[in-house]
Amino acid sequence: MNDEIGNDGRLDERLRAAMHKLASGYQPASERGDATEPIRGRSRRSPWWTSVAAATVLVVGAGIGVVLTRAQHNSESDVAAEPSSVPTSPPAWTDRLTIPDIDEPTVAVRIDEELLDEPLMLQNPYVRWGDSIPTLGSLWYVRFDGGVPVSSIAITDHPAWTWDIYEQIRSNAAPDGSEVAAADGEGFDTWQNPDGTVRVVHTVGEVSAQLDEILADPRATIDDLRAAGPPDGYVALVEPVIVSSMAQTTSSELGWLAVLYEPAADQLDRYLATWPLSGDVTEIPGGWLSGSAEDGWRAAVAIDGYTVRIFTPDDVPASTMQTIRDHVELVPVSEVPWASPFEHSAVDPAPTPVLAGGELSIGRWVAFDTTDLDGRPGDVLCQRFVGALRGLDGCVDDDATAWTRCGWVAGPYDEDTGRYVLLTTETFAEHDDLAARVDGDDADVTIEQSGGFTVVYATVVADPLDHPDVTIVDSTGNELCP
């Protein structure tokens, strides 16, 4: 769609020309002498193309895929994750505990980019129910064939998605202006609801007649689609589900939280650096368990008031759905002898994945270490909010949308509340009068300190796309930096 964004041909041409002239300012290392600015604490090194070329040669010579010169990268954080003994059974104390049943299927789904008809470039190939997937929407249903996902249905009513679909609707409007079903030829089908809202459905692969029938009703809403459940052959990605990386999910019924690592996913190597994946399942102060499996899922977690899950399978293949239930023991934390995780503000010994957890007005939360990401120990990698704001959780990694300001870690913008959450491992006991400003103006904020963390909830009036500048200040107006 060529809208007003690209209609100013003269401006477009000036921009193109100007940027290419700017690009001529690039100076190769050989021409700029000692001006090289190290990143991540790296020392100066040879011109980058020599490394890449060498790596390419290495690939050519070895005939294998990925053995880049990672030693050049952040070597201080590349802590080897060496699985040792594989825990094959839950710790002994679980014998004394009641293990609840799960009525809902628990699945983890890996969506391969190859499966889909467009490059998704997923940050995390594992998706869960309702996950937002770039260029696809929110995934709701998946169809499997022999354990391999072969078709998926994504549904979204997010305004950002409907933005350009409106254009298609206008051009494809029915004569009476009522129901419109537009397809853009890329798997998107669009319906205009009676109230004027637009529903967009993206399907990959076939869609059963059952779903077609539901979708054909212009009065149907996305809630209707969800309530109707998956069409024949599809599996609804119901919660709770497990995803790789810093995964977290909750169930309002069972109320459990889980973290899972899948070592085969190459993108997770950075996390392996900070996750203490070694040895048998062990207790970590803070109420967490950690362990490793030699070839499969890793990790076990606990959270106060919730339940403990221990993953010990050894045959979980990547790219397939797995029913975790057979491999999981569920334990009410209330019955776990050591379960008082939120009394701990820090975790030792290091390295540890968990910095702290606590009770806040939004619910329970936990935070993870991100030592390897920026070289500064004690930052927060993931923050998880469980309870009232279940949707407000996220990880701060190299690809996350969260941003930082002055050492604060900010969580995702919550569209429902209009709030950002800023988090730091520091406390400001001497500053009980903390305030926040957004783009220089006083902001509506709530500041809580718990478990060695300071959490600031800043209601941001500005368009979040502008990445408003949020600062934390003391009573004198001085910015506080952790």
Partner 1 sequence: MTRPTGEDESRPAAIADLFAAHQDAAVRFAYVLTGSSAVADDVAQDAFAQVVRRWNDLRDPKAYLFRAIVSGARSWGRRRGRTYALDAPLPLAVDSDAVAVRQVLAEVPLPQREALVLRYFAGLTDPEVAAAMGVPLGTAKSHLRRGIAAMRKVLQ
Q: Is 461 in the site for partner 1 (CB under 8 A)?
A: no
Interface residue with partner 1, options 172, 282, 320, 404 (CB under 8 A):
404
As measured in angstroms, the least distance from the Cβ of 322 to partner 1 is 20
473: number of Cβ within 10 Å: 16
Could you tell me the two tokens for 85? 């003994």
Interface residue with partner 1, options 16, 96, 170, 219 (CB under 8 A):
16
Interface residue with partner 1, options 11, 183, 216, 388 (CB under 8 A):
11
Q: Which is nearer to partner 1, 269 or 474 (CB)?
A: 269
d(CA 356, CA 366): 6
Interface residue with partner 1, options 145, 398, 432, 444 (CB under 8 A):
398
Per CB under 8 A, the segment of 65-73, 334-342, 350-358, 448-456 that binds partner 1 is 65-73
Q: Is 415 in the site for partner 1 (CB under 8 A)?
A: no
d(CA 31, CA 35): 9
Q: Is 42 in the site for partner 1 (CB under 8 A)?
A: yes
d(CA 305, CA 332): 7
d(CA 129, CA 154): 10
Q: What's the first-to-final CA gap in the chain, in angstroms?
A: 45
Q: Is 21 in the site for partner 1 (CB under 8 A)?
A: yes
Could you tell me the two tokens for 427? 């406390």
Site for partner 1 in 122-161 (CB under 8 A): 123, 134-135, 158-161
Interface residue with partner 1, options 9, 39, 232, 440 (CB under 8 A):
39
Residues in contact with 213: Cβ distance below 8 Å, sequence separation at least 6, in sequence order:
none
Q: Which is nearer to partner 1, 21 or 440 (CB)?
A: 21
Site string for partner 1, 322-361 (x = CB under 8 A): ----------------------------------------
Q: Is 56 in the site for partner 1 (CB under 8 A)?
A: yes
Interface residue with partner 1, options 350, 388, 406, 461 (CB under 8 A):
406
Q: Which is nearer to partner 1, 39 or 429 (CB)?
A: 39
Listed in order, strand segments (DSSP E) in 14-116 are 107-110
Q: What is the CA radius of gyration of the chain?
A: 25
Residue corresponding to tokens 């609840």: 100
d(CA 402, CA 467): 10
Contact 111, 149 (CB under 8 A): yes
